[in-house]
Structure 1
Amino acid sequence: MHAQSTRRGLGASLATVLLLAGVAAFSAGSPAVADPNTTTAVSAGPASYTQAVPTGAPSEYNAPLERCANGVNYPIGGANPVLSEPLTTQFASNVGLSEYVTFSGNQWYGDWNFVFTNTSTQTLSPDCAVLVFRAPSGSDNHGYTSTQQYGHPQQDYLEVPRGDGTSFYIARIDFHDVPLVQRQVSPGQSFSYQLGGIPNSKITLAQIRDSLKFTADLDLKANQSLVQHYGTNRLTN
């Protein structure tokens, strides 16, 4: 199922989180260097870390498992604080991940696909993780899609234009109504985040890759301080 915010009528969701738990879909190795539409892979984060495991069952909305099931908008006054923060120029993560970025499309429109592989020694839950990155401005259709046939995935999302043809994008990826196992990525398995928009020469594919900061929810606090800090909006289901 989808949670989408649409500014113009496109038939498919242009921002998709694909949690490929249970399927070894991508290799942890680098993609072909010769392909100008695919970056090499970079790695960040510790191989071992502690991530609290939530209790509760799907649809028990007062239980920790469903801590990101509901959300609201967090408007802030004045300039968004991300505009005054130092630029991330090297992929950063608080858990062991590799990342590469692909682009498919043309000069008028295309999709950027952020492919992450769990390089740590333990199973990762990306539920309530926050991604902050830079990409061309104007992503006009974005949604969150689970690989499962049921459940109601959503996201908290915000675009902050920089005024130079690029924008910061902040997204918290959220599940609800699905079991814990469907929210997990085992060592060596992968998941991806996809953004659609109009390419801009102001930022290269490698710079998009290196701009990303991934913050997994390790303490069951849902990264709430981050979404409130940046003033994200909850996309409707």
Structure 2
Amino acid sequence: CSSTVRYIPIVEAYYRELYKRNIAVDFVRPSDDLTKYKVVIAPMLYMVKEGEDENLRQFVANGGTLIVSFFSGIVDENDRVHLGGYPGPLRDILGIFVEEFVPYPETKVNKIYSNDGEYDCTTWADIIRLEGAEPLATFKGDWYAGLPAVTRNCYGKGEGIYVGTYPDSNYLGRLLEQVFAKHHINPILEVAENVEVQQRETDEWKYLITVDE
């Protein structure tokens, strides 16, 4: 592994793109009731406990989009490595097999290609073998150039998306926008930057909060 890999910064990277687009977020566990959600994002879901994979599998089969990042599906609740390769019990949902990890030195920057451009990536690369998924982006450099970096797999009525690296905010934002558009997820109001909008389920009032950075 790499000493530069930290869980909280990875979660913050995804949250930041949601926040910039005024998309409200709940924090839930993989075992919670997911039926009211259209999209579930699971960055670095290192531990997958017994039964959690089935809950996520049902969520996707029913039409949801599950986004999982690198270093996921590694161990169970007793910190025992899942047998059969990574991402462990999520392999069928994501339609991939991770053959090898490539943690980056702190200063290393690679690039990924997608159909809308070229983007930087850092921190980590997964060597991915497709098992039904399609590539959404591929690596540009190093010995694994041309191999999938981001994948999408149809499962039931939904899809599993795997992000096998740490892409820059431009790519991550565009990827999330595409998912939101598919599910018709839009902000409550279009507002200026650093203005947060919230609305309670129990009333029609909209609350605008100015954030001073």
TM-score range, shorter chain: under 0.3
**TM-score computed with the length of structure 1 as normaliser:** 0.23
**TM-score computed with the length of structure 2 as normaliser:** 0.25
Which of 1 and 2 has greater Rg?
Answer: 2
Higher helix share: 2
